[in-house]
Structure 1
């Protein structure tokens, strides 16, 4: 579980003492430094690090970081809003000790996600992790709901010896092929061992479709912990790869053509320990609230795309008939639908049933991602929203008149269109708050401007090694 309370200057009761004990344990294991990790508005992982002996101080008083990072672009240029983007001010990074872990893939280092608070000790309105924690807490208090989430991770494995900036697949075997598993056997075996040592339960790891592509699926957790885990697993994938002479990319489009890297989200709503997506009287065992939750997400997918696919490179991936889910459609086990209902195996559905959101890539900040998805679903519950007619097969094959009648329409085909939809969506903006919502819009516009005039291959190259 994740710490649900906000950090406070001086530390919560007993927290500093706990940090001291943990620091001693880590030092005894040869851990010399702690990575303090967060994800910025553009979806880039940012860090500060402290010696292990300074963990107590970091927990008590935080570590300084400028709020300007809330408006960094993926290329490290800075945009501004009415509140953010100036050189003024300071924040404090407070590590969450419940998520602290020694990094098996980076001997000598530990890792912890942080919440960011102001110098006065109040919540920083631009901290996406804090916002997600608040959304989850509000849902529990106001609706009696809890959530379980998992984010699939696809990545492309290249040779670190490739010419600078280029991607050369590290394995040439066919999609899902045994050849790939054999050729990168030592790498993936060490990756599994590292995940196990870090307490990450891996459900499966396998070669995927695109050249050099793999996927890992991990166990579901509460949303904040699931977002933390997504960041941790990606750090581990990258670190272990470098030990094997490999380089990895989580970019949605490593090259301009072909299938890119996705980051599908699995999400389920629970009340009093009962999964609302199983055992109900609605379609495929959904309860009324589960259907309304799914309908709320489906209704807001055009605006959500500014969060789920926040990079211009993501729109090279979001193409019909490539299992990216680019139409506002839902279906049972329908991999071309944007919203896929996963019932699970007979006998285990009360644990496994969930909704999968497919038009998602790993440029997305996972805290913003889960926060906005939950906010959209909660709005669906508040409106008692109902799912439209189910779509089977490929929505791209529907005749235009039938697609219109069903409400099946193409999701935004550019980041600019997604930003326009996001700016107009009061539910999502209210969920994030005005400071963070404005930062999202400004950073997305900055990314659009940064690649203006570039062809698809140059767009892919611009983001190839960012994520």
Structure 2
């Protein structure tokens, strides 16, 4: 049978390189850029590209420190259904890979993409109806990061200021055109806050949606760089900039089960936030009165200051996530939590909030079922994830321990790092 790559290359004769990509436990996109000729050789010989096992476990703070022995290899196993043209680099195509470590009893035990795949395959009937859309927030900075003298600055949500200069608007238009041409459905783009823009993408099946998110983020970064600008999804990119999240919209095909699905998510919101807020700078968004995540495990209809906003029947927005997280892991956990609620027919007991949580007396919050605060530090998030039954059940011991070991390296390394150094690091990486 003809390989999918052959037909792809016949349609895209200009492609000379294939990016074999994976997202590591730190949420960093990594790639080996392979020539077309060698890619075809690998396919013909039924072989896989090999990388060091450490390539899944590098912390953000010190890429020279991996929590693995220095020996061993992993195979990059391409999912050719994810193959797409990199329109921001026309001679390149990209394919998302599963990270396979043949020496392990479960060769895919440390692969985040495989973890999401497993969650979906174990609940085929329910998972097939799930759809995900994303709100990708990012801050635009000049290369020198000096935002004080820009003649046309992005000022506030939906304002046209900041979209009048040729550079920003041209980069946005070029980005969105590339996304649409590559099959990523874009619903709209707009100014989101000071120095911040947002691109909202339409619903896709969960694995396809996360793959499309990774392509979207890389397209944004690449196109804006070509226009002489820095586009970063870092949560706290600059003191004067809005704080960036990565909001995940999830919709359930069978809305009759929405209360149980929501209840499952709420019962596990602490764990979702522990993985979704994955860096020391993530917790700048964990505040009331900020229209970010809020500070309490809670939900509300069209409420934007809670971790779970109900948008419509069977449709929610998960707000306690940012781009420093690994979205394969976070989405796997969200779906596992919701489906657990459906399987156990869990009733919805928490009352949705209609005001800022801080405006309620504490007894009224408790009466509504709002009792737990979100983690407000990286140390608290690590502690929650370590003790979480659903984290361990969803990912297994090997992946859970590997993830936490990487995060502990970052926690220790960044404890004494000043905020500006962290901002520059995260802006470069994310």
Q: Quick check: TM above 0.5?
A: yes
For the residue of structure 1 that corresponds to 2:280, the secondary structure is coil
Q: Hey, what does 1:280 align to over in structure 2?
A: none
Q: Hey, what does 1:172 align to over in structure 2?
A: 153
Q: Give me the whole-angstrom Cα distance separating, in 2, the residues matched to 1:120 and 1:247.
A: 40
- 8 A contact 1:328–1:407 mirrored in 2: no
Q: Give me the whole-angstrom Cα distance separating, in 2, the residues matched to 1:457 and 1:167.
A: 14
Q: Hey, what does 1:102 align to over in structure 2?
A: 85
Q: Which runs of 5+ in 1 are unaligned?
A: 1-13, 270-274, 278-286, 344-348
Q: Hey, what does 1:230 align to over in structure 2?
A: 213
Given the alignment of the two structures, is residue 337 of structure 1 paired with residue 306 of structure 2, yes or no? yes
The 5 Å alignment of 1:315-326 reads: 315-326=283-294
Q: Hey, what does 2:353 align to over in structure 1?
A: 391
The alpha-carbon deviation at position 458 of structure 1 amounts to 4.1
- 8 A contact 1:139–1:146 mirrored in 2: no
Q: 1:264 aligns with which of 243, 247, 262?
A: 247
Q: Give me the whole-angstrom Cα distance separating, in 2, the residues matched to 1:442 and 1:144.
A: 30
For the residue of structure 1 that corresponds to 2:70, the secondary structure is coil
Q: Hey, what does 2:401 align to over in structure 1?
A: 438
- 8 A contact 1:293–1:378 mirrored in 2: yes
Q: Give me the whole-angstrom Cα distance separating, in 2, the residues matched to 1:157 and 1:389.
A: 38
Q: Hey, what does 2:326 align to over in structure 1?
A: 365
The 5 Å alignment of 1:291-440 reads: 291-326=259-294, 327-343=296-312, 353-387=314-348, 388-408=350-370, 409-440=372-403
Given the alignment of the two structures, is residue 46 of structure 1 paired with residue 14 of structure 2, yes or no? no
- 8 A contact 1:156–1:169 mirrored in 2: no
- 8 A contact 2:87–2:178 mirrored in 1: yes
Q: Give me the whole-angstrom Cα distance separating, in 1, the residues matched to 2:219 and 2:369.
A: 41
Q: Give me the whole-angstrom Cα distance separating, in 2, the residues matched to 1:433 and 1:268.
A: 26
For the residue of structure 2 that corresponds to 1:303, the secondary structure is helix
For the residue of structure 1 that corresponds to 2:60, the secondary structure is coil
Q: Give me the whole-angstrom Cα distance separating, in 2, the residues matched to 1:322 and 1:415.
A: 20
For the residue of structure 2 that corresponds to 1:362, the secondary structure is coil
Q: Give me the whole-angstrom Cα distance separating, in 1, the residues matched to 2:70 and 2:114.
A: 22
The alpha-carbon deviation at position 418 of structure 1 amounts to 1.1
Change (3 A) 1:258 1:157: closer
- 8 A contact 2:392–2:400 mirrored in 1: yes
Deviations along 1:277-322, one digit per CA (max 9) or x if unpaired, are: 3xxxxxxxxx2x2211111111111122221011111012222211
Q: TM-score, normalised by structure 1?
A: 0.85
Change (3 A) 1:58 1:149: farther
Q: Hey, what does 2:117 align to over in structure 1?
A: 133
- 8 A contact 1:150–1:265 mirrored in 2: yes
Change (3 A) 1:400 1:195: same
Q: Give me the whole-angstrom Cα distance separating, in 2, the residues matched to 1:232 and 1:455.
A: 31
Q: Hey, what does 1:11 align to over in structure 2?
A: none
- 8 A contact 1:256–1:316 mirrored in 2: no
Q: Hey, what does 1:210 align to over in structure 2?
A: 194
Q: Hey, what does 1:272 align to over in structure 2?
A: none
Given the alignment of the two structures, is residue 19 of structure 1 paired with residue 5 of structure 2, yes or no? yes
Q: Give me the whole-angstrom Cα distance separating, in 2, the residues matched to 1:73 and 1:118.
A: 19
Deviations along 1:348-377, one digit per CA (max 9) or x if unpaired, are: x7xxx5111111101111111110111111
Q: Hey, what does 2:55 align to over in structure 1?
A: 69
Q: Which runs of 5+ in 2 are unaligned?
A: none
Change (3 A) 1:313 1:168: farther
- 8 A contact 2:120–2:127 mirrored in 1: no
For the residue of structure 2 that corresponds to 1:36, the secondary structure is strand
Deviations along 1:204-232, one digit per CA (max 9) or x if unpaired, are: 11111132x11001111111111100000
Q: Give me the whole-angstrom Cα distance separating, in 2, the residues matched to 1:245 and 1:55.
A: 32
- 8 A contact 2:179–2:185 mirrored in 1: yes
Q: TM-score, normalised by structure 2?
A: 0.91
Given the alignment of the two structures, is residue 181 of structure 1 paired with residue 163 of structure 2, yes or no? yes
Change (3 A) 1:223 1:433: same
Q: Give me the whole-angstrom Cα distance separating, in 1, the residues matched to 2:89 and 2:7.
A: 22
The alpha-carbon deviation at position 455 of structure 1 amounts to 4.4
Deviations along 1:326-385, one digit per CA (max 9) or x if unpaired, are: 321111111112111111xxxxx7xxx511111110111111111011111122223322
Q: Give me the whole-angstrom Cα distance separating, in 1, the residues matched to 2:424 and 2:148.
A: 13
- May I ask how many residue pairs the two structures share in their alignment? 419
- 8 A contact 1:158–1:247 mirrored in 2: yes
